Structure 1
Amino acid sequence: MTSQEITDTLKALFGHAVEISEPESWQVQLDNVRLLVLLSEDQSWLRSLVSIAPAQEALPYLEQLLEANFDETQETRYALHQNVLWGVFQHSRASLTSEDFKAAIARLLTLQQQGLSASFNRLAETQIRQIVQAAKLQGQSLETTLQTLDRFYQEGVMGEIDQSATQREQILAAWQYQLERLWNEEI
């Protein structure tokens, strides 16, 4: 892709939101998204990136983020740099097509919109599976496990101190849904 093709592709996608800082640098500023497109010093590589979250917020999900890099992020990757979690796409400029560039931008925007929620959900499911496994090893039934969780919330071992009864019921309903969903799976 030439610099002009990059500009044309970005303008076709984002219109007047495209800012060209230098011949090798583009920025797209939308409501919640800032997309950067940079060329390497020798202009042979293109890098597109969006910020996703502060690194401190992402660190608890590092394992899930790396697994996503392996299985799910396709042509994009998660990366940490300067205390920020980024969505990054890098490609040789010589072989990059407009269609591939558009697809990568769409994927970056998806990563940015998801934020850390997908990683949180994977971590939560892993932990719920561990609870199910531990309960089964102790010979507990699903009902006994739910009663234990309810007791933990009532005693303040789990949940917030100033949590209302309605909030506790909503959280316990979510626990029940997840435990019922995973209870009969082979773990």
Structure 2
Amino acid sequence: MIRLALMLIFLAGGLAAQETPEAEPPMDYERLGKIIFALDPEAQPRGPGFQLTVSDVPVLVITDINADRMRAMVPIRSAEDLTPEDMHRMMQANFDSALDARYAIANGMLWAAFIHPLSPLEKDQLISGLAQTVNIAKTYGSLYSGGAQQFGGGDSGNLQRELIEDLLKKGEEI
């Protein structure tokens, strides 16, 4: 009886594995570029990365093949005059509403950033991360939101979610 149960579990697991869609190929510079150019045909290669525009916002994507990392960044403003209240609010957002994007400070600038290991990055993760990065840059000083999930019944969540859905549609053909 135990043998039969184990065989059924094994067979069920095998069937589930057969129904699983194929894994995406590892992300690399070339594949990243194809996705970026699908999102913005006017994108430009920049050293180990790309410069593109998403929803009228310039985005810089940098790769480090040796570290197997990527970073998408949007400059927001000088970090020089940030108040303790600004910092507190950004840290709150990093915990709950910025989602996969983050507020960060480097070289005297406040940035919106999405940082991820490069090779396991999937197409939809990249697209969503780019949209969230743009959203937190756009909502700095107000909602501080990545836009994918929000509580409340206002219009902002739907407006921000539209950017992610638009980019996902552009990426469907890839």
TM-score, normalised to structure 1, is 0.57
Choose which of 42, 59, 69 in structure 1 pairs with 2:94: 69
- The answer (yes or no) to whether the contact 1:53–1:115 under 8 Å persists in 2 is no
How far apart are residue 40 of structure 1 and its match?
2.1
Residues of 1 paired with 2:37 and 2:73: CA distance? 17
1:102–1:82 distance in 2 versus 1, CA, 3 Å: same
Q: Which whole-Å CA distance do the structure 2 matches of 1:30 and 1:90 have between them?
A: 17
1:50 is aligned, of 74, 89, 95, to: 74
Equivalent residue, structure 1, for 2:128: 103
State the alpha-carbon separation in 1 of the partners of residues 30 and 94 from structure 2: 30
Which of 49, 55, 79 is residue 104 of structure 2 equivalent to? Answer: 79
| Residue identity in the other structure for 1:113 | K
Q: Which has the higher helix share?
A: 1
Stretch moving more, 48-57 or 65-74: 48-57
- Map 1:15-164 onto structure 2 (within 5 A): 15-16=41-42, 18-22=43-47, 24-29=48-53, 33-40=57-64, 42-59=66-83, 60-118=85-143
Cα distance, 1:54 vs. partner?
1.6
Q: CA RMSD in A?
A: 1.9
Distance 2:39 2:80 in 1: 32
Q: Which has the larger radius of gyration?
A: 1
Q: Is the 8 A contact 1:51 1:85 kept in 2?
A: yes
Give the structure 2 partner of residue 181 of structure 1.
none
Q: What are the Cα deviations for residues 99-153 of structure 1, in whole angstroms up to 9, with x where unaligned? A: 000000010111121132236xxxxxxxxxxxxxxxxxxxxxxxxxxxxxxxxxx
Alpha-carbon distance between aligned partners in 2 of 1:117 and 1:31, rounded to the nearest angstrom:
18
Q: Give unmatched runs, 5+ long, in structure 1.
A: 120-187
What letter matches 1:56 in structure 2? E
Normalised by the length of structure 2, the TM-score is 0.61
In the alignment, structure 2 segments of 5+ residues that lack a partner are: 1-26, 145-174
2:54 touches 2:134 (CA, 8 Å); kept in 1?
no
State the match for 1:3 in structure 2: 29
